Amino acid sequence: MSVIDEFLANVELPRMVTVRQVFADNAVADIASAVRAEIARPEIAALVRPDMSVAVGVGSRGLAELPTLVRTTVDALRALGARPYIVPAMGSHGGATPEGQIKLLGKLGVTEESAGCPIRSSMEIVELGRLPNGLPILMDKEAMQADGIIVINRVKPHTSFSGTIESGLAKMVTIGLGKQQGAESCHALGFGKMAENVLEMARFKLEHTPILFGLATVENAYDRISRIEAVAGDRILEREPELLAEARANMPRILFRPIDVLIVDRMGKEYSGTGMDPNITGRASTPYVTTTQEVGKMAVLDLTENSGGNATGIGLADICTRRLYEKIDFPATYANCITSTVLAGARIPVIMETDRDAARIAVKTCNVPDLDQLRMVRLSNTLHLEEIQISEALLPEARSNPSIEILGDPSPMLFDAAGSLLHGDHPPGG
């Protein structure tokens, strides 16, 4: 018996119950029609001249319906007489290489074939000017060669800072289209200055580049689009704080607080920039983001294929599995974390050989005096929170909450002979 086996020999996992968390659901019924209607609005359509080239900035996040958003936007631009092409607008993601960024877009379902237009990927940038604090304001050279630029992005709370503008159109203009060097410039003074730098760099770019408009989406708690809006370039900084407030109100959350042990089946870039959204877990890599959840110990079991090995945010967990660790592409992860200057996101947690041991060591070390009262929650990921699993001790709380439906009876967590959670035992979603 190994030392770890001895430590965990007497640790029993609680019985778990699947529950449904009920949130408001106001999804847009026809995504393509909504996009076409927004771009056809007179004040937006008038920005697009016949025969103008238009660079369409597409990022690395897993936006709901991203391939449809991109293809419909490209078709709408072409219908107005423009000649669109895509530029990856993802800062340092994709390993900070042109090929890596094209590959990452492909994993999100965006290719030249799916979009119906070329993708021009380059890490070359041009300097447009400097902020009063000396930071250079940089822009994708491929985008700057177009007659017009647009960006497509979801507006949502950021995972590392809080402000009037967080993650959305302005951030994509500032960081996404800044490529690796532009992202590095915006992050250079740390997240304590990020809200200010994103705003001021975006303001400068909106005044000095041919940004026509941004196509913003807001998602509801079920990862479905609840709003699609085309925002003219000169209104982005005015409109985005209002969209952010709507997005914040729409966010899903874990309806139990505090949590002694949180198990996250999968982390990934399509779920959050930090793999696991701090707004959900309460675990942030900087002190500049406001969170409300409280978690004693957190274990993460796997990394999604779409992340391309980028495990940024792994350092926010206390425990991970050997399976996850062996999927990490360290150059890609380090490129992301070094660019952001937040190295905590790349730290390696305690590594357990199996899912079972990862869960057991979380319970072993959570400092709960009476494990019969253990408050344990298991998520498929931090984006899909409709159906989750809770420990038996949380049942009375679940029964008293009208926003929670109990879907079954308490049952043991099931593992195969190798200690991996059985496939059918994953909470639904994602």
Q: How many degrees, rounded to 5, is the angle at CA 29 between CA 23 and CA 35?
A: 115
pLDDT at 49 over 80: yes
| Side-chain-side CA neighbours of residue 117 (13 Å) | 25
- Indicate the helix (H) or strand (E) that contains 296: strand 295-303
Structure confidence by residue, pLDDT tens digits, 201-233: 999 999 999 999 999 999 999 889 999 999 999
Asked if 386 and 280 touch (Cβ cutoff 8 Å), the reply is: no
Specify the pLDDT at position 64.
92
pLDDT at 373 over 90: yes
Q: Residue 428 above 60 pLDDT?
A: no
Instruction: Identify the pLDDT of residue 72.
Output: 98
| Residue type, position 165, single letter | I
* C-alpha 81: how far from chain center: 34
Q: 429 pLDDT exceeds 60?
A: no
pLDDT digits (tens, 9 = 90+) for 4-26: 777 887 889 999 999 999 998 89
What is the tens place of the pLDDT at every residue in 159-212?
Answer: 788 889 888 999 999 999 999 999 999 988 888 888 899 999 999 999 999 999
Give 83-133 pLDDT, tens digit per residue.
Answer: 999 999 999 888 889 999 999 999 999 999 999 999 999 999 999 999 999
Average pLDDT, the chain: 93
pLDDT at residue 426 in the model? 52
Instruction: Give the chain's domains with CATH numbers.
Output: 3-23+253-425 (no CATH), 31-250 (3.40.50.11440)
292-318 per-position pLDDT tens digit: 899 999 999 999 998 889 999 999 999
CA 430 to chain centre: 13
CA atoms 383, 272, 239, 229: torsion sign: negative
User: What is the reported pLDDT for 193?
Assistant: 87
Hey, what amino acid is at 96? A
Whether residue 272 has pLDDT greater than 90: no
| SS3 at position 281 | helix
CA distance 67 to 56: 13
Cα–Cα nearest to 46, from 96, 80, 87: 80
Question: Token pair for residue 96?
Answer: 């900070």
Residue type, 219: E
d(CA 67, CA 105): 10
pLDDT given at position 306: 87
The confidence score (pLDDT) of residue 190 equals 87
> What is residue 423's predicted lDDT score, i.e. its pLDDT?
61
Per-residue model confidence (pLDDT) at position 1: 58
Higher pLDDT among residues 36 and 273, named by residue: 36
Asked if residue 208 lies in contact with residue 129, where contact means CB atoms within 8 angstroms, the answer is yes
DSSP letters, 78-116, are HHTT-EEEEEE--TTTGGGSHHHHHHHHHHTT--HHHHT
